């Protein structure tokens, strides 16, 4: 069995309208790498399994970046490309002005040795400022201020121009590239195919892509897909005025990068049947799960879980029930690192001992993962017009998570949120209110990996 999962493989909305500020960031450092940049934790929700009639169990993996700072490490020049949507829809809600203000604030933080490119896109892409050293910021600020909203939304062309602008530059890796989205307007289909292909190749070359969906008139599934393919983050910004603070947060993370291109490979014993993986980007091949966590800044973390069904067998220990291997690159070409963990568990017949060995914290988080996955799948069903199917998804998972950790306040809140979303499906709702709700649900599910 081989399963691939990325956000862009989900059903996308038929119309591509994407108010977006996409940021391509390639950060390089020189100096001594941190001795232990990452910490790896792996644990089962229970170290015992009932041998007579095994129930589903969960394995949790947590990768945390060190908060230690290395004073010997110096940031090398930053290669930054700002890709700004200037289509006609950006006139609404003062979105373009908010994006311009946030972009100027970011430019003000660049150093003279950094490189900056500015690309705008509407019906066509335009190189507003070719990639060049930031000697004087005044020109960049003026060019950003001069942007005007008009025309359509050729997002793919904008991204390709940004990627091309970063090729063959000092301390930057060139990109090469194909992604396909069946929902893009036909005239721009081949352009976005190239953009996604370039995005995947760029991720392997050390370039990070983060996306910012501003307002309500954009395709959130596509924004999440772009950031996942590009090893970055997707941000949903429902209030344009918060754009500057969120972009500043992303820039801070880039400056404090601890480890890049983090990948986890988890192998379970053949006695366990994998049922569900709770992660944003993963691949399942038999009993091996490969997860791409992207980059981590100081203090950041990535958490994922696997739900599996143990096979029935007699009492006894399994010493290497799960093996976890994590690889990563040190920023700035400072080599690479890896770590691994193996954990075991035991089949027993004593149900009381099984109850006593339950890890309630992991079980609570399992319920949160289950609830958010259900809400996201329900939201996708609503996008397809399948409201009854969405309702059945939520009903099924509500029963499951109550059984996992029904007494937990957090789980009760998740159930309450599911019921609130469910009630909203039953009543008429203004289109913009519905769009906001859909984007909030999907963004929470995508961001859960970092909690």
Tokens coding 321: 């029930």
In the chain, domain spans:
8-28+72-257, 35-68+258-356, 360-450
Give the separation between CA 14 and CA 140, rounded to whole angstroms: 35
CA 173, CA 205: separation in Å to the nearest integer? 6
CATH number for 8-28+72-257: choose from 3.40.50.410, 2.20.28.120, 3.90.730.10, 3.40.50.620.
Answer: 3.40.50.410
What's the rounded Cα separation, in Å, for the pair 179 and 163? 15
113-123 average pLDDT score: 87
Whole-number Å distance between alpha carbons of 207 and 261: 10
- Distance separating alpha carbons of residues 284 and 374, to the nearest angstrom: 20
Q: How confident is the model at residue 211 (pLDDT cuts 50, 70, 90)?
A: confident
- pLDDT at position 147 is 92
CA distance 426 to 241: 32
Question: Which of 348, 325, 324 has its CA nearest to residue 338?
Answer: 325
348-398 pLDDT, tens per residue? 999 999 999 999 999 999 998 998 899 899 999 998 999 999 999 998 888
Instruction: Spell out where 115-230 has E strands.
Output: 115-121, 125-133, 208-214
Window from 159-173, 210-224, 295-309 with minimum mean pLDDT: 159-173
- CA–CA dist 372, 26 (Å, integer): 32
Return the DSSP state at 74: E
Maximal C-alpha separation, the chain: 73
Enter the CATH code of domain 35-68+258-356: 2.60.40.3670
Task: Identify the pLDDT of residue 9.
Answer: 30
The string of pLDDT tens digits covering residues 24-78 is: 444 444 444 456 799 999 999 999 999 999 999 999 999 999 886 554 456 667 7
Q: What is the mean pLDDT of the chain?
A: 79
Axis crossing angle, helix 360-383 with helix 387-405, rounded to the nearest 10: 180
């Amino acid at each position: 069995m081989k399963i691939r999962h990325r956000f862009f493989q989900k059903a996308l909305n038929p119309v591509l309208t994407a108010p977006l500020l996409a940021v391509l960031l390639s950060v390089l450092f020189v100096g001594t790498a941190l001795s232990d940049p990452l910490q790896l934790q792996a644990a089962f929700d229970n170290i015992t399994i009932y041998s007579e009639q095994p129930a589903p169990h969960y394995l949790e993996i947590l990768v945390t970046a060190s908060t230690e700072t290395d004073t010997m490490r110096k940031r090398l020049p930053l290669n930054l490309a700002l890709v700004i949507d200037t289509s006609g829809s950006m006139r609404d809600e003062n979105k373009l002005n908010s994006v311009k203000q946030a972009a100027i604030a970011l430019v003000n933080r660049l150093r003279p040795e950094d490189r900056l490119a500015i690309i705008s896109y509407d019906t066509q892409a335009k190189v507003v400022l070719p990639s060049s050293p930031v000697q004087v910021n005044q020109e960049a600020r003026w060019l950003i201020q001069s942007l005007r909203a008009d025309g359509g939304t050729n997002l793919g062309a904008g991204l390709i121009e940004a990627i091309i602008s970063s090729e063959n530059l000092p301390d930057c890796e060139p990109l090469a590239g194909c992604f396909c989205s069946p929902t893009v307007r036909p005239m721009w289909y081949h352009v976005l195919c190239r953009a996604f292909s370039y995005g995947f190749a760029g991720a392997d070359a050390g370039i990070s892509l983060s996306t910012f969906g501003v307002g309500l008139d954009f395709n959130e599934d596509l924004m999440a897909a772009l950031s996942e393919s590009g090893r970055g983050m997707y941000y949903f910004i429902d209030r344009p005025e918060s754009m500057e603070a969120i972009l500043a947060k992303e820039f801070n993370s880039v400056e404090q990068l601890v480890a890049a291109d983090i990948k986890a490979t988890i192998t379970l014993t053949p006695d366990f049947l994998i049922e569900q993986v709770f992660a944003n980007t993963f691949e399942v091949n038999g009993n091996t799960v490969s997860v791409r966590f992207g980059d981590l800044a100081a203090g950041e973390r990535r958490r994922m879980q696997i739900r599996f069904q143990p096979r029935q067998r007699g009492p006894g220990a399994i010493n290497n029930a799960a093996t976890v291997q994590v690889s990563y690159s040190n920023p700035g070409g400072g080599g690479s690192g890896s770590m691994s963990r193996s954990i075991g568990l035991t089949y027993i017949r004593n149900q009381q001992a099984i109850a006593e060995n339950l890890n309630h914290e992991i079980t609570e988080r399992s319920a949160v993962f289950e609830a958010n996955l259900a809400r996201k799948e329900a939201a996708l069903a609503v996008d397809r017009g399948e409201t009854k199917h969405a309702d059945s998804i939520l009903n099924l998972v509500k029963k499951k998570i109550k059984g996992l950790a029904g007494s937990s306040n957090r789980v009760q809140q998740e159930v309450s949120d599911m019921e609130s979303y469910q009630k909203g499906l039953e009543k008429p709702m203004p289109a913009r209110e519905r769009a906001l709700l859909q984007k909030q649900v999907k963004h929470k599910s995508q961001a859960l990996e970092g909690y």
